Amino acid sequence: MGVLDGKLRKLLEDTIEEARQVAESGARRALQSLAVERHEPHPSMSPDERRLRNRLRARGRQLGDRRDRIRGDQEIDRLTHEVAYEQWHRMLFARFLAENGVLVEPRSGVSITIEECEELARERGVDPHALAAQFAQEILPGVFRVGDPVLDVVLAPETRQALQRLLDELPS
């Protein structure tokens, strides 16, 4: 395998930096919508959202985010970085796997292209890029830890679209 051309390396570096900023901003908003930094959950949160919130707070503490023992509020800086990193890399891996013919639809065990993944997503009524990322997560459990709550965070559509645009701008 050869070394990346300087222009391609610079494009990749710039894209990754922009993706990091977009992903971290979106991750922070998603965590705030789940009240991860607050002492109490939002009253309108469902039981599933409350469980995810608790798991995320625990994960944040594992990462080193501190909780104010008196007020109960918690930092989310490290957790924000972790969510952003995992979400972006799951999307990046999905594209890499698809372009190399090794993105596998888990039910059938058959390798699929991004176009086939888009067709499956239409049939299932889900976002095609999220579905591809889910497939990447399922076939790479050593990379994307099963049960990790950071992978259960749903980024806002505008964040996912911005990240997907950055991915689409990278040459094959």
Query: Within 10 Å of residue 83's Cβ, how many Cβ atoms?
Result: 29
pLDDT tens sequence across 48-95: 999 999 999 999 999 999 999 999 999 999 999 999 999 999 999 999
Total residues found in the chain within this entry: 172
What's the average model confidence in pLDDT over 116-137?
Answer: 92
Alpha helices in the chain (DSSP H): 6-33, 47-63, 77-99, 114-124, 128-139, 157-169
| pTM more than 0.85 | yes
Judge contact between 24 and 80, C-beta under 8 A. Answer: yes
Token pair 């900023």: residue:
21
